[in-house]
Amino acid sequence: MQTVERFLKYIAVHTTSDPNSETSPSSPIQFKLANLLAEELKELGLSDVYVDDACYVYANIPATPGMEEIPPLGFIAHMDTSPDACGENVRPQIIRDYPGGDIVLTGTGDLLSPKAFPTLDKLIGMTLITTDGTTLLGADDKAGVAEIITACEHVLAGNKPHGKICIAFTPDEEIGAGVDHFDLERFGAKYAYTVDGGEEGELAFETFNAASAVVEITGLSVHPGSAKDTMVNAALLAMEFNSLLPAGDIPRLTEGYEGFFHLNDMTGSIEHASLSYIIRDHDHATFEARKAMMFHAAKVLNEKYGQEFVKVTIKDSYYNMREKIEPYMFLIDNAKKAIEAAGMTPFIYAVRGGTDGCRLSYMGLPTPNLCTGGFAFHGRFEHIAVESMDRCTQMVEHLMCDIR
């Protein structure tokens, strides 16, 4: 089966994760794809295929005779799609020999345009798969799933020698819980790659350091007619707190290695206000400084108003995996060789986010991230080229068999 056939089959399965759930998986619908993948892996002839109670899929291809001493190499992709956009009833559009220019998303009439997405110009002449504008597409990361499984099919059908190949598909990556219940022992790899990146050729071993912050503000309400020097308006205090953070350090105004504070939710009244932030930075020292800045802002306001009205709680989410990958840079060198062997040009990309590989690397499994070929993840303008998926499949196959 071709990679594109698998991809179209997988995106038809609804697997949106739920950030408000406390179960694992966060949405039971993810089991449908997990079980489908497990059956497919069994049919292809993979060994030890298993779906656990938390919706993780594991399988492997044993080493060919004489190659048992090669360290087992793993490949990982996630099955869930982002809750940022609808992932149900995906109706893909296929544009063959894309001529360039605007693409009409037939479900809404919206335009997928090179003006907003200039990388479309790189895809001229290819076969594109887009959404119809009513949902996301699901290339993040069902393209990675399809590429890994198709590479496995090619390996099993061929006669190239290889070491043990370990496969895992995870739930809930999109809500930061993708490796909460990952079984390293069952997986069995010494090194691994996630196949969860973007544009073809992309190779990542740097991610953000990440934390979440909640600012709780307690106000003091009295009648506004007699509020002089007494009322403390929590909603206004919340606005004042945000004004103490650098105005230019927000996602809209940052790129590359520039970090940010992102206010992603707020509520407020006179008596109570709450602000929810995420904090991101590639540099660990700057990351710590950003957290300290939030605590300092609370201190300034509490001293100004003479009471502890503002409380900040910060929880680290994940850390830049670079320091865990640097002792194993042969993984990056091998990935570059595989990318080139598949007809792509490798480039290093510092992920402005995180991957399952972040936490896996800190759990003792060095796990850089490879490209899938997709663009504009998490939204209605998501798209991918068939030819890119084919090259990414070849990249995975080269790593499985040809490069050590």
Cα–Cα distance measured from residue 149 to residue 190, given in angstroms and rounded to the nearest whole number:
20
Residues 152 and 267 in one domain: no
Q: In this structure, what DSSP letter does residue 16 have?
A: B
User: From CA 277, how far away is CA 378, in angstroms rounded?
Assistant: 19
Do 348 and 312 sit in the same domain of this protein?
no
Domain shared by 187 and 327, yes or no: yes
Residue at which a domain ends, from 286, 318, 350: 318
pLDDT tens across 147-162, in order? 999 999 999 998 889 9
Q: What is the pLDDT at residue 354?
A: 82
Is the pTM value of this prediction over 0.85?
yes
Residue 308 has pLDDT above 80, yes or no: yes
- Note whether 160 and 401 are within 8 A (CB): yes
- Res. 71: pLDDT tops 80: yes
CATH code of the domain covering residue 356 = 3.40.630.10
Q: β-strands 374-375, 347-350: how paired?
A: unpaired
Selection from 261, 287, 271 nearest residue 220 by Cα = 271
Q: What is the maximum span of the chain, computed from C-alpha positions, in angstroms?
A: 86
Catalytic residues: 80, 173
DSSP string, 174-203: GGT-TTTT--HHHH--SEEEEE---STTEE
Whether residue 129 sits in one domain with residue 237: no
Residue identified by tokens 């497990």 is 38
Q: Are residues 25 and 145 in the same domain?
A: yes
> Both tokens of residue 309?
């009205």
Residue 317: which pLDDT band, with cuts at 50, 70 and 90?
confident
Shared-domain flag, residues 198 and 240: no
In a shared domain, residues 198 and 332: yes
Q: Please give the single-letter amino acid code of residue 325.
A: I
Same domain, 125 and 251: no
Percentage with pLDDT > 70 across the chain: 100
User: pLDDT category, 383, cuts 50, 70, 90?
Assistant: very high
Give the count of beta carbons closer than 10 Å to the beta carbon of residue 335: 24
For the chain, give the mean pLDDT: 96
Reference 395, options 354, 358, 343, 352; nearest CA is: 343
Average pLDDT over residues 32-41: 98
Query: Closest by alpha carbon to 281, among 326, 242, 311, 251?
Result: 251
Q: What confidence score (pLDDT) does residue 167 get? A: 98
Q: 46: domain range?
A: 3-207+320-401
Q: How far apart are CA 79 and CA 10, in angstroms?
A: 9
Mark whether 226 and 271 lie in a shared domain.
yes
The set of residues, in sequence order, having a beta carbon less than 8 Å from that of 256 and lying 6+ positions away, is 350
Report the pLDDT averaged over residues 113-138. 97
| Contacts of residue 254, Cβ cutoff 8 Å, sequence gap at least 6 | 248, 260
Please report, for the domain that includes residue 269, its CATH number. Answer: 3.30.70.360
243 and 314 inside one domain: yes
Helix-, strand-, coil-residue percentages of the chain, each rounded to 5: 35, 25, 45
Looking at the structure of the chain, the number of domains it has is 2
Whether 38 and 116 map to the same domain: the answer is yes
Calculate the CA dihedral of residues 317, 318, 319, 322 and round it to 10 degrees: -160
pLDDT exceeds cutoff 80 at 80: yes
Mean pLDDT of 6-22: 96
- Report the alpha-carbon distance of residue 364 to residue 328 in Å, rounded: 12
Do 82 and 215 have their domain in common?
A: no
Q: Say what the pLDDT of residue 166 is.
A: 98
Last residue of a domain, which of 318, 337, 352? 318
Select from 269, 301, 318 the last residue of a domain.
318
**What pLDDT score does 194 carry?**
97
Q: How confident is the model at residue 222 (pLDDT cuts 50, 70, 90)?
A: confident
Model confidence pLDDT, tens digit, residues 179-196: 999 999 999 999 999 999
